[in-house]
Chain A
Amino acid sequence: MSDHLVFLLLGLANGAVFASLALALVVTYRSSGVVNFATSAIALYGSYGFALFRQGELLVLIPGLPAKVDLGWKFPLPLAILAALAMTAALGLVIYGLVFRPLREAPAVAKAVASVGVLVVMTGIMGIRLGTRPVRVDNVFPSDIWTVSGVRIASDRIWFALTVVLVAFLLWALYRFTPFGLATRAAAETERGAYLSGLSPERLAALNWMLSAAVAGGAGILIAPIVPLVPVAYSLFIIPALAAAILGRFQYMIPAVAGGLIIGMLQSDMQFLVASHDWLPSSGMPEVIPLALILIVLVVRAAPLPGRGAVVQQALGSAPRPVRRVNGLGVAGIIGAVAGLVLLEGSWRTALIMTFIFSMLSLSYVVVTGYAGQVSLAQLTLAGSAGFLLGPLAGNLGLPFPVAPLVAALGATVIGVVVGLPALRIRGLPVAVVTLALALVLEKMWFANSDYVGASGVSIEKPSFFGLDLSSGTGVDFPRREFGVMVFVVLLLVAFAVSYLRTSSLGSEMLAVRANERSAAAAGVSVVRVKVLAFAIGSFIAGLGGTMFGYRLGSVTFDSFTVLLGLSMLATSYIIGITSVTGGLLAGFGAIGGLGAQAMETWFGGADYFETIIGVLLIIGIIRNPEGVVGYFMGVVQRYRARADAAAPDEVVTADGAVTDIEPRAGSSLRLELRDVTVRYGGVRAVDEVSFAVEPGTVVGLIGPNGAGKTTLIDAITGFAPSTGSVVLVDELLDDLKPHERVHRGLGRTFQAIELYDDLSVRENVVVGQAAARARGDEPPEVESVLANLGLASAADRNAGELSQGQRQLVSMARAMVGDPGVLLLDEPAGGLDSTESIWLGERIRAIADSGVAVLLIDHDMQLMLGLCDQIQVLDFGSLIASGTPEEIRNDPTVAAAYLGDTQATLAEEGSEQ
């Protein structure tokens, strides 16, 4: 047998470990939409429970009670397995009730972070209560040695792998064929659907949580005989398990299990390759395999995780615009920090400096996650990369002080952009998983690889600036005040920069991308550029933090920058506030070795349970305040201010003349022409060979019943939906251009579901749209004048989230208008307007057309359409069934037939009115 085959076979056991956890991940995600990082902790609970039942003891996790209760009877194997499964199912119920039920409508990111909280709490408690000594676990399967073609394989590993596959099939059948399974799948589609079928979604969810916890517990029981049972035993298995789950797209159990087995087997073969080839890095190669598989699946296929039928999409708390760059709180903070540097001694001063450093790292999360909405789990790793680069830069290359850390941070920037590249193709949690896998590869292959980093780590030259020693010092001197001042100054610069970023146009574009990539692209924002910049800036900041940490340590080793610490750090940043500079700055207090920990230690005698408490706070924080602690207080302040401003006028959309005239459009007139535009979804032609033109200065209406393909056609025109045929602007074919490039050519659009950025002010929402005109090299129209054109001048400083439906429609139009479009595509702008407002809106649209813009308008308001449009195109089942003037359309029997009852009645009614 070839060596490779031998190694693939030997990898089965590891593969089965990953497969079993991947199975649990998939079951959990399918039924609850939670990417459950705590899966390994639940598995661990199952294995401890099982091991103790076998020894005649009951595991108790509640602090204060004894950890083990003697049952006086050693459970036989099958009973111990059943009892442990029941115990984990009960745990699943508890976790659901306490954590995920309150979060059932929360965004996926919040749920995932909450699961990190569960992980922290559970491993913390088990570590404290069970000690670190391995617990004896009996074999579940007979462990004979089988010899296959001269290769010895332990039979229990084969049984293990087979069992996992069998369980996957059983679960598949359960979900496929039983009423419970069907109901679960229905509920996963939409909660409302489940209600309609007469099932309680909550009971279903509870049952599913029990089942998924039991699956995880079962995985733990199967793993336990192979892996010595200690509290941290399973923590690192989560990454290959996540990779395997992604292979099954978090939906399909059999592919996920196959993925797990394949990862284990390939890793095993990789071990052999590494052992046989000296040129391969001696560490980290096996970690490349899950990463590579994730990248292949996610990036090549660009398949997002299927979302569930969730209604709530707001992923993160609002990122408030700083009112002033430095407010009272900021001044107090600066004074407090300076006073701290002067007054504090010893470990308190150390804690203060660590707080500064971690505040810097948290600010990198603020940029990447809080502003741009990309969940990166690699920020601490990026900080580490700057630390590891700083050594040789300042040492061998001899770069002087301010240059070396800056270059190191730039190095981290380059790495950070590479880490962020997959995010250009994928969105949401998969980005987090990719960054996690990449971080692990960096850690194993670089930081913890003795080929590159010695046992003493990479030592770092002491910083000095014009003869001033800025080093952290040692012994009695540590940490030197000069060092603290340097860190503080760097932190201040970073904080100002991030605050500036928030108010800059790039910052607005980031929030636009975070809110909705489609609408950002429609506003002419290059989503790719914004994401790359966000990762670059975030990495640079993390890099600066890493260099400061490096200077503090004097010599960096991998264990200050591990993936798991990074996970904890994200959790801390998330609790305290990941969407604002203030939150980022305060997050440092909750960090490792920060002031919070120091205070806890000094005043509460340290604590084994510190970590657990942080985890509990994290969970409570997410449930109660998805915007983080700081967001909560800011909300209080805002409500207070809002009360003070109660006199401000509320209604903006008025026909009483609060508008200015629209100047004739300066740019050249554009004519939009569609030639046989076709959109296929699978076998269905959503849009079928549609051809027509929109002339400048005219309004063309597009009508048709629901599902006729109207919005799909606009998506095709603007590049959001893949299409065949041609979209021609004047003489230019747009077919190969990306959405934002089409916008740059002069297309502007609004969305049916108005995709505004609720935490941006009206002005900021609109400013984003100027990107389009700038990209053409034109001077964009003044925001103020466009707002005035649409009667929004007095609402300019309010948050979009506070506006009425009609006002939001106008903001959306204003955003398109500041891009100075030659062609404007409006998707149901009158939705949610009453008839007076609708008439008023019609006048505005006519004025826009009169300024030289070609307008394509979709709306259901027939009165508006028939009164406003110069031409009307009627779409049904993707095909144009009629076109002509409003008069012609009104009298067209085909149109009436397409609209059937109600619309026909409407048409008839409207006809009689006129």
Chain B
Amino acid sequence: MSKSMWKRLLAVLALISLVAAACGNDDDPDTSSPAAGTEAPAANEQQAEGPSGAETEPEPADEAPDSGEPDAEESDMADTEAPAPETTSDLFGEPNPATGEPLKVGFVSDGRSDAIDNSAEIPAAQAAAAYANDYLGGVAGRPIEFITCETGQTPAGAQDCVAELAQAGVVAILNGVSGQGEVLSAQANEAGIPYVANGGLSQAIFNAPMSFVIGNGLGALVGPAAVASEKGLTKVGIIVIDVPAAVEPVSQAAPLFYGNVGVEADIIAVAPGTPDMTPQVQAAIINDAQQFAIIGDETFCISAMQAIQTLGFEGETIVVRTCIGEATVDQVDVDGIRVVTGTSDDMSDPEVALYHAVMDEYGGTLDTIAEGGYSAVLSWVRAMAGHGDGEVTPESVVETMLAMEPAPLPIGAQGSTFQCNRMAVAIAPAICSPGFAIYTLDENGRGTGTSFLDLTRVLTLG
């Protein structure tokens, strides 16, 4: 059901969520990078910081024939990829069909309006569930039956969704990423149903006992902080869309994280609907910003990057992955822009290959929105692997997820894992994966030089 189809200008909120979606993670920081590039400036200084200093391994980690050509740009990627390294059956494994009575699970999406379009989440989530039902034995041996709901991008719509799903008797509410994540999380927790999202950037979600965020939403903040620290900068600008759901977490967390590494963060909140951002960016430059981080979706990021480039800013610009799409590469000189990301772009990673194969087999597009839906569902299935054949209830779901063993992160780089034991990131218990990666774009918008950054020094409560 999509309530209110009225036009929402609040693309905005979606941005935030996108952010989070983008900053998923990878793994323990000391995992190797399979990317072709080997430049990892972050690593060098951080090795000193502790055992989790980033390292890179120049060797491609698998036998993929095309591993020398990592495919960095995935948004809108037509299905013209080189074939996956393994055959579909290698990737999928032995069929293990789920049996028995279908298990009702809710999947919520912001759906589509003329402001934002998150609808690609739904087919991707359906595809992931179908794959799990065919090859992973579903959840607790039972096939997943999705009940989907669209928020219409309003709080009231999100509230309706949770109510509707609760009344349908779902055992969990899954979501790729939503501008209404706060409402979904709060309402689901009150209704006693676990909320599992791929992305989210909100203290309220991070602390909600029955909420789980698979990716590391803090990456968008922490990544640039780590880079700034590594470069010995003292002041940076963070350009973020001016709505509370984005500004509040940024303004609360940024001083802390950046402060941990001795960097002052200037938060530049730009009102939605601002045609030209040069005044805001100029104000930040006058205030001595030495680096910019941008948190937003493609449209917002294009404006921000154009303003930064127009003003001839010479420091680094670090964006979240949702910033980069066809239009960005078309309209902005992306050469040298750095991207923080949780998911891998490298087809030589088995998880990436699996994602492509599932989308190919079960139907679904390949873009950052679809990734969120796929990832949320498959992560949940993996997190539920330890559930026995007993009755599945919201309580048993939470119990199982808390007790899960580390599992491979969907679409993560090789070796990336997640674990929803509420300990991956101490200050944000709901987050299931601690790490993240950063890479640099070339002039064609392809990522090079992926490296994994150390979080420990940044991600503490100081």
Contact call B3/A157, Cβ cutoff below 8 A: no
Q: In the complex the two chains form, what is the Cα distance from A345 to B203 in whole Å?
A: 33
Contact call A134/B193, Cβ cutoff below 8 A: no
Beyond A552-B156, A553-B159, A562-B9, is A455–B279 a contact (Cβ under 8 Å)?
no
Contact call A13/B155, Cβ cutoff below 8 A: no
Q: Please encode chain A, from 439 to 478, with 1 for each CB lying within 8 Å of some chain B CB and 0 for all others.
A: 0000010001110011111000000000000000011101
A479 neighbours in B (Cβ, 8 Å): 163
Output the least CB separation between B284 and chain A (Å): 7
B274 neighbours in A (Cβ, 8 Å): 14
A408 within 8 A of B: no
Of B10, B113, B306, B325, which contacts A559 at CB under 8 A?
B10
8 Å CB interface, B228-260 against A: 242-249, 251
Number of residues from A at the complex interface, CB < 8 A: 91
Residue of B nearest to A565 (CB): B6
Beyond A131-B117, A271-B279, is A236–B159 a contact (Cβ under 8 Å)?
no
A799 within 8 A of B: no
Of B191, B272, B298, which contacts A475 at CB under 8 A?
B191
8 Å CB interface, A1-55 against B: 3, 6-7, 10-11, 13-14, 17
B283 neighbours in A (Cβ, 8 Å): 7, 271-272, 275-276
Q: In the complex the two chains form, what is the Cα distance from A560 to B283 in whole Å?
A: 32
A608 within 8 A of B: yes
B8 within 8 A of A: yes
Residue of A nearest to B164 (CB): A347
Output the least CB separation between A411 and chain B (Å): 20
Output the least CB separation between A112 and chain B (Å): 18
Beyond A478-B163, A559-B10, is A132–B117 a contact (Cβ under 8 Å)?
yes
B299 neighbours in A (Cβ, 8 Å): 134, 228, 230, 233
A444 neighbours in B (Cβ, 8 Å): 242, 271
Output the least CB separation between B196 and chain A (Å): 16
B459 within 8 A of A: no
Q: In the complex the two chains form, what is the Cα distance from A455 to B326 in whole Å?
A: 31
A809 within 8 A of B: no
Q: Please encode chain B, from 270 to 282, with 1 for each CB lying within 8 Å of some chain A CB and 0 for all others.
A: 0111111011101
B331 neighbours in A (Cβ, 8 Å): 134, 136-137, 228
Contact call A568/B10, Cβ cutoff below 8 A: no
Number of residues from B at the complex interface, CB < 8 A: 83
B77 within 8 A of A: no
Contact call A13/B275, Cβ cutoff below 8 A: yes
Residue of B nearest to A610 (CB): B5
Residue of B nearest to A284 (CB): B271
B156 neighbours in A (Cβ, 8 Å): 354, 549, 552-553, 560, 592-593
Binds B, one of A118-126, A530-538, A851-859: A118-126
Output the least CB separation between A672 and chain B (Å): 58
Output the least CB separation between A755 and chain B (Å): 39
Residue of A nearest to B274 (CB): A14
Q: In the complex the two chains form, what is the Cα distance from A230 to B299 in whole Å?
A: 8
Contact call B302/A134, Cβ cutoff below 8 A: yes
B461 within 8 A of A: no
Q: In the complex the two chains form, what is the Cα distance from A450 to B12 in whole Å?
A: 14
Contact call B280/A475, Cβ cutoff below 8 A: no
Contact call A456/B186, Cβ cutoff below 8 A: yes
Q: In the complex the two chains form, what is the Cα distance from A151 to B286 in whole Å?
A: 11
B10 neighbours in A (Cβ, 8 Å): 559, 562
Contact call A134/B163, Cβ cutoff below 8 A: no
Q: In the complex the two chains form, what is the Cα distance from A86 to B109 in whole Å?
A: 40
Q: Please encode chain A, from 270 to 283, with 1 for each CB lying within 8 Å of some chain B CB and 0 for all others.
A: 01100110000011
B303 within 8 A of A: yes
Contact call A475/B157, Cβ cutoff below 8 A: no
Contact call A478/B7, Cβ cutoff below 8 A: no
Q: Please encode chain B, from 134 to 170, with 1 for each CB lying within 8 Å of some chain A CB and 0 for all others.
A: 0000000000000000001111110110111011000
Residue of B6, B10, B312 ringed by the most chain A CB atoms within 10 A: B6
Q: In the complex the two chains form, what is the Cα distance from A153 to B202 in whole Å?
A: 37
Output the least CB separation between A441 and chain B (Å): 12
Residue of A nearest to B312 (CB): A152
Contact call A236/B272, Cβ cutoff below 8 A: yes
Q: In the complex the two chains form, what is the Cα distance from A134 to B298 in whole Å?
A: 8
Q: In the complex the two chains form, what is the Cα distance from A126 to B112 in whole Å?
A: 13
Contact call A611/B7, Cβ cutoff below 8 A: yes
Beyond A448-B244, A455-B203, is A226–B275 a contact (Cβ under 8 Å)?
yes
Of B11, B157, B179, B204, which contacts A132 at CB under 8 A?
B11
A182 within 8 A of B: no
Q: In the complex the two chains form, what is the Cα distance from A269 to B283 in whole Å?
A: 9
Beyond A3-B286, A228-B299, is A223–B275 a contact (Cβ under 8 Å)?
yes
A564 within 8 A of B: yes
Contact call A127/B7, Cβ cutoff below 8 A: yes
Q: Please encode chain A, from 134 to 150, with 1 for each CB lying within 8 Å of some chain B CB and 0 for all others.
A: 11110000000100000
Q: In the complex the two chains form, what is the Cα distance from A593 to B2 in whole Å?
A: 9
B460 within 8 A of A: no
Residue of A nearest to B303 (CB): A228
A422 neighbours in B (Cβ, 8 Å): none
B54 neighbours in A (Cβ, 8 Å): none
Of A13, A135, A345, A593, which contacts B157 at CB under 8 A?
A593
Q: In the complex the two chains form, what is the Cα distance from A345 to B7 in whole Å?
A: 27
Residue of B nearest to A13 (CB): B276
Contact call B248/A231, Cβ cutoff below 8 A: no
B346 within 8 A of A: no
B272 neighbours in A (Cβ, 8 Å): 236
Contact call A275/B280, Cβ cutoff below 8 A: yes
Q: In the complex the two chains form, what is the Cα distance from A474 to B189 in whole Å?
A: 9
B311 neighbours in A (Cβ, 8 Å): 152
Of B5, B7, B202, B246, which contacts A597 at CB under 8 A?
B5
Residue of A nearest to B284 (CB): A275
Q: In the complex the two chains form, what is the Cα distance from A402 to B340 in whole Å?
A: 50
A346 within 8 A of B: yes
20 contacts between A and B (CB under 8 A): A7-B282, A124-B7, A127-B113, A152-B312, A227-B275, A228-B303, A232-B114, A275-B287, A283-B242, A450-B244, A454-B248, A456-B182, A475-B167, A476-B166, A555-B183, A557-B244, A559-B155, A593-B160, A597-B3, A606-B1
List 18 other contacts, CB 8 Å, given A453-B244, A549-B156: A14-B274, A132-B11, A154-B310, A236-B273, A275-B283, A276-B283, A286-B271, A346-B164, A347-B1, A448-B243, A455-B244, A456-B204, A475-B162, A554-B187, A558-B243, A564-B9, A592-B4, A592-B6
Interface residues of B (CB under 8 A from A): 1-11, 13, 76, 112-117, 152-157, 159-160, 162-164, 166-167, 179, 182-183, 186-188, 190-193, 202-204, 242-249, 251, 268-269, 271-276, 278-280, 282-284, 286-287, 298-299, 302-303, 306, 310-312, 325-327, 330-331
